[in-house]
Structures are given as C-alpha cells and as structure tokens.
A and B are shown apart, each in its own frame.
Chain A
Amino acid sequence: MHQHLLSYRRRRYLRLSLGLLVASLLIYFSQAPTLPRNGGSWQGYTLGGVATAMILWLAWLGLRKRSYRSSLGTVQGWTSAHVWLGLSVLPIAALHGAFQFGWNVHTLAFVLLTAVVLSGIYGMFAYLTLPQRLVRVHGDQSRADWLTELNAIDARLRELAVDADARTQAIVESAVDRTSLGGGVLAQWFGFDRSRVLDPAAAGQGSRLLGNRGQQRLIDFLAARIPLAEQRGEVAMLQELLALAGRRRRVLDTLRKGVRLNARIKLWLVLHIPLTLGLLSALTVHILVVFLYW
C-alpha cells in the first residue's frame, strides 16, 4: 500500500515537490543582499503566493480525495500529491518569511501550518503502518465480533458463578462489572487497563477493591480456589470459570490493542482538519493584515 502511495507513478509528486522546492530556493537566493531577505520583496511575495496557492489546493485535495464519486484522477494519486506537496509547503513558507519569526499573526499562521504538516506526517505514518497491525491484532474478526464474544463470556461467567460460593460469585461478577476498556482520549491512546475487582473477604482485610490488570487477580483467585473445592462438580465449574477468565483476558487484550491502534490511526485527523481550518483563517488574517498596514 505505502509503496503505491508514496511512489505513485514513479514518484511523480515527489519529483514535482522537489522541483518546486528547488525553484523556491533559487527565487529566495535571488533576493538582493542589500536588505535582509524578507516576505516584502517581489521574491517574498512570489513565494508567499506559491505557498498560499499550495495550501488552498492541498486543503481542496483533502476534500477531493474523500469524494469517491468523482472520476477526476484516482484517490491514490490525489493522496500521493497531498503528501508530497504538503511536505514541501512548509519549507516554501519558511523561505517566504525568510525565517523571520516573532510574536505576531504572521508567525501564528506559520505555527499553524507547521502543526498541520506535522499532524499530516504523523497521519501518513499512521495510515501506512497501523491498519496492518490492527488487522493482525483483530485476526479475521471485527471489533464487534470480539465484543460479542466478550459478552458471551461474561454471560457464561455470570451463569456459572451463580452455582459457586458467595465469595467466588462476588469476585467473578465484580471482575466483569469493573472491567475497564477504552475511555478518554489518553486511556484510548495509551491503552490503559484500570480494571478492578472487589474482594468481599480479602485475607485479613475484609472487603477491598483491588487492581485487576489483565484479569490477573481473577485468574489467580480462581486458580487458587480450585484445590479447595469440596463439592462434586465444583471443580469442573471452577475450571470452566478459569478457562473463561483466561479467554476473557485474551479477548480484552485484543480489544485494548485494537482500541489503542484505532485511536492512533484516527486522532491525527481529529487535529489535522481543525488545524487546517485554523490555518486558513490565520492565512487570511496574515494576508489581510499585510495590506492593512502596508
């Protein structure tokens, strides 16, 4: 996939991007050394015009490559152009401003452009590598399948626990109820596991809320409980509970990794598009202000 995206048509857009960059450098260095290079020379205006046109075109490309109905070019081609030209717009904009930065609206536009390009670079990395990892994590099933299995396991755990002793039942049900998966942006991004379990009779401590990361405490409890079984059939029941807890750990682990990868694939876009809109706004202000106080 990424071979196709970045090397589309023998790296046509990489070559175009490098060509633009070289031309921009030539224009930049053609500025007479009589004044510090700046965006106010004809070269500065030219580079600014090129960068503005590129930004508008790239933003339009962002819309265009999501329009699957259009027959103008291929999505792959547009994406390749978006990536390569998007990478070159940042240095061209820096040349336009001759690397002069300050606390002003002009630098604000550049900072937003930098944020857009950086989020785009991350997005490209995410799109090229993470979906494959997500497929490997999920296997041949979708997330819905894994959630369905989790539900089935949970239902069976509760069903079996009804016949167990009170402490086992309480621990199994609390482990199911207090399972943590996903959550806020950071929890999804890092895949935090804040699962808990309430042990009503923890050794010498009474009722206590304990960490249950990776369902480890539930598994440990069930494994330790099996040798203490006294009634007929209790061992088989506990063994099935243990098998289900083990499988549940595997399912939750898969889901958690999936959530983490999913967040990492999608978060950049949550930022990339608003940052682009902010950039377009700052760019408009930048251009307007230059001519307001000419």
Chain B
Amino acid sequence: MSAVQILIRRIERDQKGNEALFEKTIDSGTLTMGHRFDQTLQLLDPEIAPCHAVLTLRRGGGFDLRTVGAARVQLADKTVARARLTAGQSIAMGRQTLTVVAPPPGFAAAIEVLALTPDEAFGPATHFVLELTQTGLRSRPLAWLLLLIPLLFLALPLAGVWQPALATWLRAQPWLPADSVWSSGPLSGAHSSPDIGSNCQACHLKLFEPAPDRGCGHCHEAINAHFDRRLVDSPLLDAMACARCHKEHNEPGNLLRHDSALCIDCHRELGAVAKSKGAAKLSAPVSGLALGSHPQFPFTLWRFDATRWTWSLSRLPSEAPPEPREGSNLRFSHALHLDPKKVQVPGTKTLLGCADCHRLGRDPEHFEPISMEGQCRRCHSLAFDEAEPEQQLPHADVPAAVRAIEEHFIRQFLLPGATDGSSQRNRRRPGQAVLADPCRESPLTCARERSRLEAFNQFSRSGCVTCHQVTEQPEQPLPTRWRVKPVRLVADWYPAARFNHVAHLAAGATAAERDKACSSCHAAKLSKVSADILIPGLTRCLDCHGDRASQAKVKLDCTGCHAFHQRSGTPLKPQSRLADPAAQKLSGVRQLAAAVFRDAGGDVGSQNSGSKQPHSKVSPAYEETRL
C-alpha cells in the first residue's frame, strides 16, 4: 500500500441546490481525469474529453496540472493547459469545479470536486422508464378509487333508506352493496330469516335511533310482562327498551344477555323500582345465588278446604319451620312402592323404578300427570268380586261405584244361571274370612245385603279407602253415604323457576343410575306418607350450584332458572310502545313467529289471565291431576 493517500470529495449539486456527497480515497500520487471509465476521476460531462487532464502531487503539497491533447481548463478566468495548484485554488472544467483543499489528518492532499448536475442525464439513455412515477401506477387515481369505494358502501344503501324500491332492488343484486353491508354481525335464530335478515329496516325504523321496541312489536306483540301488571307497577321497567337485554349482531349469535346484574340491579331492592298496587307482596331481595343472598324457594301447594270442598293455591317457604306438608288427599307410600321385597313390575321380576310412574312431559321440567288409569291401574285393579275379577268398579264416581256393586250382586242372586247356579254364594274377599252365615232371605234381599256389605268394605275397610280419604254420612242413602275427597297433586312446585330434569339425569346411562340420580335429590325411599314433600330446596341446589362469585362447581346466572317474560300474565307493554302505526307488512313473518312460539309452548297467548295465581306458569295440562 502506498504511503500517499489523496482524498477526493465529490459534491453533486442539482438545480434546486440539494447536494449529495461522495468520498473516495486514491492510493496514488497521480490522478487522471476524463469521462472515460478508466480514469481515476471519471467526470461524466459531455464537455470533458475521455482523457482530459492529469494531476500530479507535488512534494510539499499542491499539484501540477497538465491537460491532454487539445483539452483545456479554466483557471481564474484564463484558459490554460498547465498550472500549478496550491491549497485554495480552483480550476473549472465543463460543469465541474475542482478545488484543492486542506487535507484532513492522514491524507497527503485533498481535492473537492463540485459538480452541477443537470435535471436529467443527457443522451438517448434517458428514454428508459426507470421510475415508478413514469409507469401507469399513480398514487392519486388509486387514492381516489380507495376513497370512493367505502363512500359507495355508504351512499347506495343510504339512498335505499329513503327509496324503499331502490333498497329492494339493491338487495336483489349480488354485486351491489345493500344495507346488509352495514350489518356488524349475524342475526340469531329466526331473526336471520330472509324476511328480517336482509331487511334491516324491519328493526331499524329510523336513522340514528337505536332499534325501537315497536320494531320488535311487529312480531312479538303478544309477549308477556315480567310480572302481573295489574298487581305491580314499575315505571323503570316500562321505560326499558327490549334492546337493553336483547342484543343482536354478535358472534356467536346470542340474543339474550345472561348476566345476573341485569336482574339483581332491580331485585336487590325491589321496592325502589317497583310498587305493589294492592295486597301483592314484592319478591324478597336477591343479590346472588347463595344462602343469605337468595331467598328460600317458596312451594306452591294445593290446599283443600273440607268444609267448602274447594281447592286453593298457597305459597309456603320450603325450608323454614314448620316443615310444610302436602295436602293432596292421596294415601300413598313411596317407601312401600320402592321396597324390592314387596313391589315388582307386573309380568317381570324387576323392581319398580322412578320412571315406571314418572314420565317426562313435553318439556324437560314437568312430568306427565299421575292418574289412576295412567300409572296405578297397571298393578291395582278395581275388581271387587274375586269370582269375577273382570268386573271393575268405575273410578272417581262414588254413586256409580255403589250402583255397579248393587247391579252386580242383584244379577248374581236373581240370575243364578248367569254365574255358577248357586244363589247362596259364600264369598271371600281379600283379607276377609268366608261368610260363616249364608243368606237365607229372598234373592233380592240377599243381593242388597251383599251389596251393602261390599260398599262398606270398599269405602271403609280395604278398597277405595286404601288410597283415598273417605267421609261417611250415615243418614244418607247408600249411593250418597260416602264422599271421597278429591285428589290434586302438585304439578309445578316452583312455578317461578325452570329446572331441566334431562340435563340433571344426563349422567345416568342405565335406569338404575338414573334412579340413583333421582334419589340424590328426592328422598322417596324414606317417604312413607304422601304428605312428605320430596322436592329439594335451595340448600340442595347450592350443593352444586352458585353464582359467579362463588366457588361452586357449576355457576348459574339468574336466567339459568328464571325466565324474564312470564308464560302467563299481562302483556309486556300494553301502551303504544310495541305498536307502530306505520307498521310494515310483515304479517307472514308475524304468523310464522306466532306459530313457532305456540309450538315451543312459549310466550304467545295468555293463560290464567283472570286467575288469582300470580307468577303461575302452570299450563292446563299440568294444572290438576285427579286420581
């Protein structure tokens, strides 16, 4: 490496005065300058010769300059062929000015070349397209395009809001934006049907107005209130919009808010937001699902008034003393029926299980009504004459039963050929000894005596009285002498709550496992009398469930057990909030929605609207069970 190092600093200055700096180090004392590529300092300038000049470093600093051939340089307004340059001196060649400057440390000499560059390189090579701006790609048209496309997505559907015919036409065009491009997410369930799903204005009736209740009212006009409006008044709830709880356009589609806060906000202190209009009591305060924060479940029980012979519903706390008793007027022992030594399914040797009598109805909560014909008759016949077991008493009609007994025995005694030819039959009934003294009177008298004996037996010893409570009026003639108290089983112990038996029995693969699951809540095997209430209360639920704040295994929100809209009662909003005078023609959809709700046993229609049973969701099918 040569000890001599010359620094060449090249500054290119364009027409605007912008400068670019290039630095280069030469390891030689001699510099050639020209536009040819093999020159030490290549100066690309048409006014400069291929080999224009040679600079030689002088000892002690400075350069000797010598031009090549006819080439010349400018030195202080003089055209020269040779020159001696010292620090600070400049020469000019074409567009270049070459100045000898003081060298920085480590360099023997330094030269600064200032080149004034033209706007473009000269010559035919400039026809090449070398910049993106020279191509068809332009920022500005692209920017306009990208600006306009979203505006189109605004303007076209907006025009459709004011021109319904345009909106309809747009919705039919697959490649044009209708107002469905404004949708922020899918609709849930029936709302995604073509009639509503693609017609935003079915719910969004007015621009800049949150979906109003009257939009919902197009289809849901018959929906029920949260409470009986005749008994309770709550302006706060009346003013609340449907959309407060029902949120659409979410992913995954989920129409209903499930947070407990929605309920607890009011139920924490119901008196602050609702007012009882009469004697009706507001619900106890609720602040969660735990002992202390949720009231005990009140049983809804039938009570029989034996003096007036009428039924009435009463609500009793389930777990507060005294222990409530059921008053169904039925005599029944679950323990006896579940005793493997005593009861088996007829025709098989299998034990009686829960599902042999209790079959789920059309919803997962309620069971089919228990009845003599549906359940008991499988094992218990109503035969009263052992010799003729096919002769059965009619059920649930005392005079008819007495008449049937009389008819049977009169036929027996007056038409002996019809049976075994004997008019003096010794009869033995279950649990009764053979008559020691056969009748010696006339056949009619004997028949009437036998009938009287049998009727007494049925109503006071071992027949009807086995399951029923019977009262006797001795002064009355035989057909009206006994009265059987009617039986009414409770079909819905907790009308204000929902419970899914199917979900709770899901773990049981076999009947035995399912019975075990039943027994875990219903202590039927220990119940010897029908007055025992086998329905668990809050404490049992809390063994597995709790609110979100709890450590329970399965967390439950209010809506897990309670429905907001009552199945029966008064309409949600009787005033004009659900009625829209400018209602659109949605009759087809409305009919469909009504049908869907009817099929689901849901909210359409009003049951028990005139009854004195607040919060009752008992449907006629479950309302009463008579044995």
Q: Are A151 and B121 in contact (CB under 8 A)?
A: yes
Within 8 A of B (CB), among A170-200: 181-185, 188
User: Chain B 202-233, CB within 8 Å of chain A: the 1/0 string?
Assistant: 00100111110000000000000000000000
Query: When chains A and B are docked, how far (Å) is the Cα of A194 from the Cα of B147?
Result: 37
Q: Are A281 and B123 touching (Cβ within 8 A)?
A: no
Q: Are A278 and B147 in contact (CB under 8 A)?
A: yes
Checking A38, A262, A275 against B185 with a beta-carbon cut-off of 8 angstroms, the contacting residue is A38
Within the complex, what minimum Cβ distance (angstroms) separates B26 from chain A?
A: 12
Distance (whole angstroms) from the CB of A183 to the closest CB of chain B: 5
Asked if A67 is at the interface of the complex by the 8 Å CB criterion, the answer is no
| Residues of the A chain whose Cβ atoms lie less than 8 Å from the Cβ of B336 | none
Contact B10 A36 (CB under 8 A): no
Which stretch from A3-11, A82-90, A137-145, A213-221 is at the chain B interface? A137-145
A108 and B147 within 8 A (CB):
no
Instruction: Give the contacting residue for A39; candidates B117, B184, B254; CB below 8 A.
Output: B184
Write the nearest CB–CB distance from A95 to chain B, whole angstroms.
Answer: 14
Top-8 shortest CB links A-B: A278-B146, A151-B123, A34-B259, A274-B143, A147-B121, A148-B44, A282-B150, A140-B22
B69 CB, nearest partner CB in chain A, Å:
17
State whether the Cβ of A26 lies closer than 8 Å to any Cβ in chain B: no
Q: Is the CB of A281 within 8 A of B120?
A: no
Q: Are A293 and B147 in contact (CB under 8 A)?
A: no
Q: Which of A52-60, A96-104, A202-210, A223-231 contacts B (4 or more CB under 8 A)?
A: A96-104
Give the residue among A105, A149, A273, A293 with the most B Cβ atoms within 10 A. Answer: A293
Interface residues of B in 451-510 (CB under 8 A from A): none
Q: Do B146 and A149 touch (CB < 8 A)?
A: no
| 8 Å CB contact of A270 from B22, B44, B137, B151 | B137
Q: Provided the pairs A148-B121, A182-B130, A184-B135 are in contact, do residues A36 and B147 lie with their beta carbons within 8 angstroms?
A: no
Q: How many A-B residue pairs have CB under 8 A?
A: 199
Could you list 18 further interchain pairs (A-B, Cβ under 8 angstroms) beyond the known A35-B254, A285-B150? A105-B181, A109-B150, A140-B22, A140-B23, A144-B120, A147-B128, A151-B123, A152-B35, A181-B130, A185-B137, A255-B128, A262-B130, A262-B131, A269-B139, A278-B150, A281-B148, A281-B151, A285-B154
Cβ distance B266 to chain A, nearest Cβ, rounded Å = 16
Interface, chain A (partner B; CB < 8 A): 32, 34-36, 38-40, 98, 100, 102-106, 108-109, 112, 140-145, 147-155, 181-185, 188, 247, 255, 259, 262-263, 266-267, 269-271, 273-275, 277-278, 280-282, 284-285, 288-294
Q: Does B624 contact A (CB under 8 A)?
A: no
The answer to whether B135 touches A188 (Cβ under 8 A) is: yes
How many residues on the B side are at the interface (Cβ–Cβ under 8 A)?
Answer: 73
- Residue picked from B120, B146, B153, B211, most chain A C-beta under 10 Å: B146
CA distance A109 to B124 in the complex (A): 46
Whether B125 is near chain A, meaning CB under 8 Å from some CB there, is yes
Q: A188 — which chain B residues lie within 8 A by C-beta?
A: 129-130, 132, 135
Q: What is the CB-to-nearest-CB distance from B174 to chain A, in angstroms, rounded to a whole number?
A: 11
Contact of A289 among B142, B154, B251, B259 (CB under 8 A): B154
How many whole Å from A243's CB to the nearest CB in chain B? 10
Do A182 and B123 contact each other (CB < 8 Å), given the known contacts A32-B259, A273-B143?
Answer: no
- B626 CB to nearest chain A CB (Å): 44
**Contacts A271-B142, A278-B143, A289-B182 hold; do A36 and B250 have CB atoms under 8 A apart?**
yes
Q: Indicate whether B312 reaches chain A with its CB closer than 8 angstroms.
A: no
> B342 near A: Cβ within 8 Å?
no
When C-beta atoms are compared, the residue in chain B nearest to A284 turns out to be: B150
Docked Cα-Cα span, A288 to B154, in Å, equals 9
- Complex interface residues of chain B between 521 and 568 (CB less than 8 A to chain A): 557
Chain B: minimal CB distance from A103 (Å): 7
**CB of B408 within 8 A of chain A?**
no
> B209 to chain A: which residues have CB within 8 Å?
294
Nearest to B45 among chain A residues (CB) is A148
Are A181 and B158 in contact, with the CB atoms below 8 A?
A: no
Do A267 and B132 contact each other (CB < 8 Å), given the known contacts A35-B254, A144-B120, A274-B146?
A: yes
- The minimal Cβ–Cβ distance linking B45 to chain A, given in whole angstroms, is 8
Chain A: CB-nearest residue to B161: A292
Contacts of A270 in B (CB 8 A): 132, 137-139, 142
Interface residues of B in 243-263 (CB under 8 A from A): 247, 249-252, 254, 257-259, 261-262
Measured between beta carbons, the chain A residues less than 8 angstroms from B146 are 112, 274-275, 277-278, 281
Complex CA gap A141/B115 in Å reads 11
Partner of B147, one of A183, A277, A288: A277
B148 contact set on A, CB distance < 8 A: 281
Residues of B within 8 A of A281 (CB): 146-151
User: Within 8 Å CB of B258, what residues of A?
Assistant: 34-35
Most buried by B among A109, A140, A185, A288: A140
**In whole Å, how far is A73's beta carbon from the nearest beta carbon of chain B?**
23
B200: interface (CB < 8 Å): yes
The reply to whether A154 and B37 form a contact with Cβ atoms under 8 Å apart is no
Complex CA gap A188/B142 in Å reads 19
Compute how far the CA of A143 lies from the CA of B148 in the bound complex, rounded to whole angstroms: 38
Q: Is the CB of A102 within 8 A of B183?
A: yes
Contact for B252 among A36, A152, A184, CB less than 8 A:
A36
Of the candidates B132, B180, B204, B250, the one having the most CB atoms from chain A within 10 angstroms of its own CB is B132
| A294 and B154 within 8 A (CB) | no
Interface string of B134-166 (1 = CB under 8 A from A): 011111101101111111011000100100000
Answer yes or no: B20 CB below 8 A from chain A CBs: yes
Of the residues B123, B140, B177, contact of A148 by C-beta under 8 Å: B123
Complex CA distance for A147 and B200, rounded to whole angstroms: 62
Distance, CA A147 to CA B119, complexed state (A): 13
Q: B561 to chain A: closest CB distance in Å?
A: 16
Nearest CB of chain A from residue B151's CB, rounded to whole Å: 6
Give, as a whole number of angstroms, the nearest-CB distance from A115 to chain B.
9
Is B309 an interface residue, CB under 8 A from the partner? no
B24 at interface (Cβ–Cβ under 8 A)?
yes
Which residue from B121, B125, B153, B186 sits with its C-beta under 8 Å from A285?
B153
The verdict on A35 contacting B257 (CB below 8 Å), with A188-B135, A270-B132, A277-B147 known, is yes
Cα-based distance from A5 to B250 in the complex (angstroms): 41
CA A149 to CA B46, docked complex, whole Å: 10
Q: Which of B128, B151, B180, B185 contacts A100 (CB 8 A)?
A: B185
In contact, B44 and A145 (Cβ under 8 angstroms): yes
Distance A252 CA – B129 CA, assembled complex (angstroms): 13
- Contact between A35 and B120 (Cβ–Cβ < 8 Å)? no
Query: What are 20 of the A-B contact pairs (CB < 8 Å)?
Result: A34-B557, A35-B257, A35-B259, A36-B250, A100-B184, A100-B251, A104-B183, A108-B150, A140-B23, A144-B118, A184-B129, A185-B132, A188-B135, A270-B139, A275-B146, A281-B146, A285-B153, A288-B154, A289-B154, A290-B184
Q: Is B611 an interface residue (CB 8 A)?
A: no
Bound Cα distance A29, B571 (Å): 38
B129 is contacted by which of A141, A145, A183 (Cβ under 8 Å)? Answer: A183
Chain A residues with CB below 8 A from B210, complex form = 294
Whether the Cβ atoms of B200 and A38 lie closer than 8 Å is no
- Find out whether the CB atom of B128 lies under 8 angstroms from the CB atom of A181: yes
Asked if B179 is at the interface of the complex by the 8 Å CB criterion, the answer is: yes
Contact for A274 among B122, B142, B186, CB less than 8 A: B142
Q: Indicate if the CB atoms of A247 and B153 lie closer than 8 Å.
A: no
Please measure, in the bound complex, the distance between the C-alpha atom of A266 and the C-alpha atom of B182, giving whole angstroms.
35
Contact assessment for A274 and B120 in the assembled complex, using a CB-CB cutoff below 8 Å: no
Given known A38-B185, A140-B23, A290-B184, contact A266–B150 (CB-CB < 8 A)? no
Task: Confirm or deny: B449 has a beta carbon within 8 angstroms of a beta carbon on chain A.
Answer: no
